[in-house]
Amino acid sequence: MSRRIILSPDARAQLDAAARWYSRKEINLPRRFRAEVQSTLLGIARYPYAYVRIDAAVRRACMNRFRYYIYFRFNAERVLVTGIIHQRRADTVWKDRIDNFGGRSDD
């Protein structure tokens, strides 16, 4: 079963900010970054239980080629992405995001 993917406003802003940062490094990096985010999100939508649980309702997917985590929660119909955060950033960032974007999941 594949779930619908919803990015929170914060996650969307983080995605755009990372792509802008990569555009200053190399012309093709933003496209490759977005492609990997998309690929990871498709994997999350298909197999959300395959990713590490870091809280009662929050899971984290690690991207392969870029040092980013995708924080999400899910239910039967959708995946709610609450953060796309560089691995060097504090883990506490995702906790603020989950509380500000619709509460808990029922997975």
H-state helical runs in 2-107: 9-23, 29-46, 92-100
Closest by Cα among 92, 93, 94 to 72: 94
Domains of the chain: 4-100 (3.30.2310.20)
Give the per-residue pLDDT at 98.
53
Closest by Cα among 72, 98, 70, 74 to 14: 70
**Better-predicted residue by pLDDT, 105 or 45:** 45
Kindly report, residue by residue over 93-104, the tens digit of the pLDDT: 656 655 555 554
Alpha-carbon distance values, 19 to 40, 54, 61, 103 (Å): 16, 26, 18, 28
Could you count the other beta carbons within 10 Å of the beta carbon of residue 42?
A: 12
Q: Which residue has the tokens 């506490």?
A: 92
Confidence label for 84 from pLDDT (cuts 50, 70 and 90): very high
**What CA–CA distance (Å, rounded) separates 61 from 71?**
7
Kindly report, residue by residue over 25-65, the tens digit of the pLDDT: 999 999 999 999 999 999 999 999 999 999 889 999 999 99
